[in-house]
């Protein structure tokens, strides 16, 4: 096999590995999976209200099997609530980081990551029937590979213990999913273009080397 073919074989292998990690192939949640996650949620203390369980069931029953983005708007406390585990002098950002200690590795393992994040530049500039929603500190969008991945993270017992840090750090928050969604820079497309560029460059160099060799 020529060096050029080896180059393309390695690049294609790298892309296939990334594509397989980044993409969900399992399809929509099955009824058995839905009942499993509902049972896990209902077994928690305190038991969530029926309307919240019904909302979660609807979210699962309407699963597309594809990735989605959870849009979050957050208003942080100037000083976090002083609950167990919060040290005197800690900021709300530092307390929220404790909440995310479990989340970050769990998200990364499932190809879930932020697609945008930033600090509020002003109070809300357009409100309709949303009294008390004028002030926010942060906005973010989290891409999840699938609803199954989000539920696996959220129902993990390791997640439950850190949830109080979120409550201590955030004054209020709104989170809702969007699916389908559009982005101009899907990493699968960007990586394909990048590896294609690298492959063509190396192939050109290899062809040049062979044409100048005695």
In a domain, 121, yes or no: yes
Same domain? For 74 and 151 the reply is: yes
Same domain? For 165 and 129 the reply is: yes
By DSSP bridging, strand 170-178 and strand 113-119 are unpaired
Same domain? For 71 and 156 the reply is: yes
C-alpha to C-alpha distance for 165 and 100, rounded to whole angstroms: 9
The pLDDT averaged over each successive group of 10 residues in the chain (214 residues) is: 88 96 97 96 88 97 97 96 90 92 91 96 94 94 97 86 87 96 90 93 86 71
C-alpha to C-alpha distance for 156 and 164, rounded to whole angstroms: 15
Same domain? For 114 and 154 the reply is: yes
C-alpha to C-alpha distance for 211 and 13, rounded to whole angstroms: 28
Same domain? For 152 and 117 the reply is: yes
CB atoms within 10 A of CB 205: 13
Q: What is the domain extent for residue 114? A: 67-179
Q: Is the peptide bond before 81 cis (omega within 30 degrees of 0)?
A: no
Same domain? For 72 and 116 the reply is: yes
Confidence (pLDDT) at 159: 77
Give φ, ψ of 73 to 5 degrees. Answer: -120, 135
Length of the chain measured in residues: 214
In a domain, 189, yes or no: no
Contacts 24+ apart (CB under 8 A), 116-123: 116/140, 116/141, 117/141
In a domain, 86, yes or no: yes
Same domain? For 52 and 123 the reply is: no
Same domain? For 34 and 130 the reply is: no
E strands, the chain, where?
68-76, 113-119, 138-144, 170-178
In a domain, 46, yes or no: yes
Tell me which residue has tokens 């989290």. 142
In a domain, 78, yes or no: yes
Same domain? For 98 and 55 the reply is: no
The answer to whether 111 and 21 are in contact (CB under 8 A) is yes
Same domain? For 135 and 91 the reply is: yes
**Side-chain-side CA neighbours of residue 166 (13 Å):** 14
DSSP string, 143-168: EES-HHHHHHHHT-HHHHTTHHHHHH
In a domain, 137, yes or no: yes
Q: Total structural domains in the chain?
A: 2
pTM for this structure? 0.89
In a domain, 12, yes or no: no
In a domain, 190, yes or no: no
CATH number at residue 162: 3.30.70.100
Confidence (pLDDT) at 214: 62
Same domain? For 58 and 109 the reply is: no
The secondary structure element, H or E, covering residue 6 is helix 3-22
The answer to whether 127 and 134 are in contact (CB under 8 A) is yes
Same domain? For 155 and 73 the reply is: yes
């Amino acid at each position: 096999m020529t060096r050029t073919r080896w180059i393309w074989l390695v690049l294609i292998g790298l892309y296939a590995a990334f594509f397989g990690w980044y993409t969900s192939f399992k399809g929509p949640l099955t009824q058995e999976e839905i009942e499993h996650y509902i049972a896990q949620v209902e077994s928690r203390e305190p038991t969530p209200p029926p309307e919240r369980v019904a909302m979660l069931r609807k979210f699962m029953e309407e699963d597309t099997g594809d990735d989605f983005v959870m849009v979050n708007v957050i208003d942080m406390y100037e000083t976090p609530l002083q609950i167990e585990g919060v040290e005197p002098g800690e900021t709300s950002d530092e307390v929220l980081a404790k909440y995310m200690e479990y989340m970050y590795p769990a998200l990364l393992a499932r190809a879930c990551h932020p697609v945008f994040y930033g600090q509020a530049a002003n109070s809300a500039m357009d409100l309709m029937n949303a009294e008390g929603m004028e002030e926010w500190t942060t906005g973010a969008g989290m891409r999840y590979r699938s609803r199954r991945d989000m539920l696996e993270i959220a129902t993990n017992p390791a997640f439950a213990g850190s949830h109080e840090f979120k409550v201590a750090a955030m004054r209020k928050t709104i989170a809702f999913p969007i699916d389908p969604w559009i982005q101009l820079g899907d990493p699968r497309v960007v990586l394909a273009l990048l590896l294609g560029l690298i492959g063509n460059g190396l192939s050109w160099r290899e062809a040049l080397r062979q044409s100048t060799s005695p």
